[in-house]
Amino acid sequence: MVRLRRIGHPLRVAAPLLLFAALFVYPIARLLLLPWFPALGPAQIAAHGDGTGLNLEAIANTLRLGLASTLVAVPLGVWLGWLLERRRWRGNAWLMGALWMVLLMPSYLLATAWEIIFSFRSLHHGVLADLFFSEAGIVALLSLKGLPFAALAARSSWAAIGAELEDAARILGLSGWRRRGVLLRLLLPAAGSAFAVVFAESIQEFGIPSTLGAQLHLPIVTYAIYERLATAPVQFAGAARLSWALVGLAAMAGGIHLYLGKRHSGVLVHGRARRSAAVPCRPMERRAAGGVLAVLATLGLALPGAALAYAAIWPTVVDVTRPVRWDSLVYSTVYASLGAALAVAGVMPVVLSRRSGGERAGRLLEALTLGNMAIPGLVLGAAYVIAFNSRWLPLYGTPLLLILAYVAAQVPMLIRFLQAPLGQVHANLSEAARLHGVPWASRILDIHGPLLLSPLLWGWTLAFGQIFFELPISELLYPAGRPPIGVALLTLNMQLRYGEEARLAFAGIGLALALAVLLALLLGAASPARRAEEWAA
């Protein structure tokens, strides 16, 4: 019995790592090694050759657009983080809400809404339309989508800079410019983190290149990878080479972040740290903050929402010969429900293995999950096309493969989301129940279940919302005849059927929100019952 326990413990620790390797390491390795080992690819690669080489124009465009959007979003995001953390004014809650709404809105819907706006006759041939249907429009949309990442990253660092640092600078008689210089140096790690995140999100973005970029016929790496896999002849090796370029650009951003963090980092939170109190805005700051909030709410929410609503109510093009795929709502609901449930179920043993497997296993799993987060969804989808399109694992074209790809994409995020609540449940609870002869199923249902019900359900909701409107993985892996809603919306966009696209989008948003509200009501109804049971006990 003791020997079985000694064997079982390493197996429990290794099982999540093996599962993660099967879902992530194996497909990504086959994709990235394909240019040098053609035998790792599907059989069709021999017939179609290794494809074209690197698309240098697409790489140059991606690098230029990513840097431009990052340089726009990061300084403004640092200022918004300071505004949210260090200043007190009535619009702070509205500003935070606007940032979160822009963050959660699918990028391809945002691009579609602005395409609808500039399709009106009064704006179609103006200067603004010319700017939008150019690289400037892509930079503006990427900057808008990257702004919440920069602001939220900067806000946490502004909170970490305690009041005692500024007090010491004043006592030492430093001028205002010197004090600002000290603050900016302390913010360099946060700025580097924001730069890395915004740049990585910009170069990995697929929704905007597949809508606005495709209309402009502007080569961009993410859409170029998709074209090599979605058009005949299929160029697997060419997609692999471009995937190397995309991963390399993301690694470059990560290297900058690590350098700034190592070179300029400092301990800002300690026993004597005092959080700087927010002070009321000065009149000029209040006007600037109100202006930024108005611009963000107008450009990111009000005008796009009004354009989608207008197109949904008064569609300009209705193609009765090609009906709207309303059944995509059902498919997305099923895919997202199963994918979110499997992802949450897979996270629990991973986090538990980190707690019981020692420091080395925890570090290894941390490195693997960080690597997964650095891989774009499009590259993950391309890896699944290659890895599971063979006679040994013929899963390509099946709903199972699509759901497995969703799980692989969501597990790293859920690990970080659920690590804290799962870590609060002490291992002695389960050990005490086991010593008293409580069966394994009863320990899960009666001990861990009630304690973890709320965080697990919220984790499921978060994963469901991200999977429901997911586009790049869905576009590459969806089963024929059963498209998710993201694929159906992109198809309508390419056909310029904006009104029908808007109706389908609003139906999808309403369905996702209804499920989230229903879950919140169920949690609210369950909480009083749990408290009553505790009082009764």
Of the spans 145-159, 310-324, 482-496, which averages the highest pLDDT? 482-496
Whether the pLDDT of residue 4 is over 50: the answer is no
Confidence grade of residue 462 (pLDDT, cut at 50, 70, 90): confident
Question: pLDDT at position 101, please?
Answer: 86
Average confidence (pLDDT) over 502-509: 92
Average confidence (pLDDT) over 213-237: 85
Question: pLDDT at position 250, please?
Answer: 80
Confidence grade of residue 482 (pLDDT, cut at 50, 70, 90): very high
Helix (H, G, I), strand (E, B) or coil at 527: helix
Q: Cite the DSSP H helix spans in 172-232.
A: 176-186, 188-204, 207-208, 214-216, 221-230
Question: pLDDT at position 454, please?
Answer: 74
Q: At 500, which amino acid appears?
A: E
Whether the pLDDT of residue 95 is over 70: the answer is yes
3-state DSSP of 452-514: HHHHHHHHHHHHHHHHHCCCHHHHHHCCCCCCCHHHHHHHHHHCCCHHHHHHHHHHHHHHHHH
C-alpha distances (whole Å) from 348 to each of 25, 217, 448, 452, 459 are 20, 45, 11, 10, 11
Confidence grade of residue 529 (pLDDT, cut at 50, 70, 90): very low
Whether the pLDDT of residue 260 is over 70: the answer is no
pTM: predicted TM-score of the whole model, two decimal places: 0.80
Confidence grade of residue 14 (pLDDT, cut at 50, 70, 90): low
* Domains of the chain, CATH where assigned: 1-33+315-529 (1.10.3720.10), 49-268+285-311 (1.10.3720.10)
Whether the pLDDT of residue 371 is over 90: the answer is no
Q: Could you tell me if 432 and 424 are in contact, meaning their C-beta atoms sit under 8 angstroms apart?
A: no
Give every CB contact of residue 76 below 8 A, 6+ residues apart in sequence: 147, 150, 151, 292
Average confidence (pLDDT) over 61-74: 93
Whether the pLDDT of residue 38 is over 90: the answer is no
The percentage of the chain sitting over the pLDDT mark of 70, rounded to a whole number, equals: 70
Question: pLDDT at position 357, please?
Answer: 52
Angle ∠(219,223,224) on CA atoms, nearest 5: 65
Of the spans 59-73, 78-92, 184-198, which averages the highest pLDDT? 59-73
Question: pLDDT at position 144, please?
Answer: 93
Helix (H, G, I), strand (E, B) or coil at 280: strand
The dihedral region occupied by 508, where left means phi > 0, alpha psi between -120 and 50, and beta the remainder, is alpha
Whether the pLDDT of residue 61 is over 80: the answer is yes
Whether the pLDDT of residue 324 is over 90: the answer is no
Confidence grade of residue 249 (pLDDT, cut at 50, 70, 90): confident
From CA 489, how far away is CA 507, in angstroms rounded? 11
From CA 74, how far away is CA 253, in angstroms rounded? 13
Average confidence (pLDDT) over 404-427: 74
Q: How many CB atoms lie within 10 A of CB 340?
A: 25
The dihedral region occupied by 437, where left means phi > 0, alpha psi between -120 and 50, and beta the remainder, is left
Q: Is 439 exposed, middle or buried (0-12, 13-18, 19+ CB in 10 A)?
A: exposed
Whether the pLDDT of residue 49 is over 70: the answer is no
pLDDT-wise least confident of 202-211, 268-277, 459-468, 478-487: 268-277
Q: How many CB atoms lie within 10 A of CB 35?
A: 21
Question: pLDDT at position 12, please?
Answer: 56
Question: pLDDT at position 91, please?
Answer: 82
pLDDT-wise least confident of 35-39, 66-70, 228-232, 428-432: 428-432
Question: pLDDT at position 2, please?
Answer: 45
Nearest to 225 by CA among 211, 213, 216, 237: 237
Between 394 and 483, the higher pLDDT residue: 483
Number of residues that this document lists for the chain: 537
DSSP calls for 433-449? HHHTT--HHHIIIIIIH
From CA 144, how far away is CA 442, in angstroms rounded? 49
From CA 315, how far away is CA 112, in angstroms rounded? 14
Q: At 189, which amino acid appears?
A: P
Helix (H, G, I), strand (E, B) or coil at 105: coil
From CA 145, how far away is CA 132, in angstroms rounded? 16
Average confidence (pLDDT) over 363-376: 62
From CA 70, how far away is CA 404, in angstroms rounded? 32
Question: pLDDT at position 306, please?
Answer: 93
